[in-house]
Amino acid sequence: MNQIFAHTNLMLERAFPNVHSGFPCWHNDSPYMMEQYLLHTAGSSLLTSSGGPVCDGRKILSEGSRFEVFDRIICKVLGYLVSSGQMTYNGGVRTLKALIYKNQIKLFNLQGEINE
């Protein structure tokens, strides 16, 4: 997803409660673009409603490294938001847990299969 369509997707997510945008790893391959997309989402929408990273099946061998990069970038972005006073420390911890773990359990109905 390029930055042109980010506003449209975020508006659809706000308008329809059952629509959740995932983080488009395949268009934002560089750490800089990932960071900018997450900061844009945090500034214009509810970051915790995201479904986390989304990867396509064409690069199945690189999914592990892509998700690791996403985890590192989300930690960096949340650290920036906390250190700049835009988010509390506890809010950052809740957001991190939601983006990396809890949202996937809720979106894919995995409550019975995975215990916290």
Q: pLDDT digits over 51-63, tens only? A: 777 666 666 666 6
Tokens of 71: 């985890």
- 1 burial level (CB within 10 Å; 0-12, 13-18, 19+): middle
pLDDT digits (tens, 9 = 90+) for 21-74: 667 665 666 788 888 888 888 887 777 777 777 666 666 666 667 678 888 888
Q: Distance (Å, rounded) from C-alpha 42 to C-alpha 100?
A: 15
Q: Distance (Å, rounded) from C-alpha 100 to C-alpha 107?
A: 12
Q: Distance (Å, rounded) from C-alpha 68 to C-alpha 28?
A: 14
pTM reported for the whole predicted model:
0.73
Concatenated DSSP letters for 10-59? HHHHHH-TT--PPEETTT--SHHHHHHHHHHHHHHS-GGG---EE--GGG
How confident is the model at residue 84, as a pLDDT? 96
Indicate if the pLDDT at residue 89 is higher than 60. yes
Q: Distance (Å, rounded) from C-alpha 27 to C-alpha 2?
A: 7
How confident is the model at residue 107, as a pLDDT? 78
How confident is the model at residue 87, as a pLDDT? 92
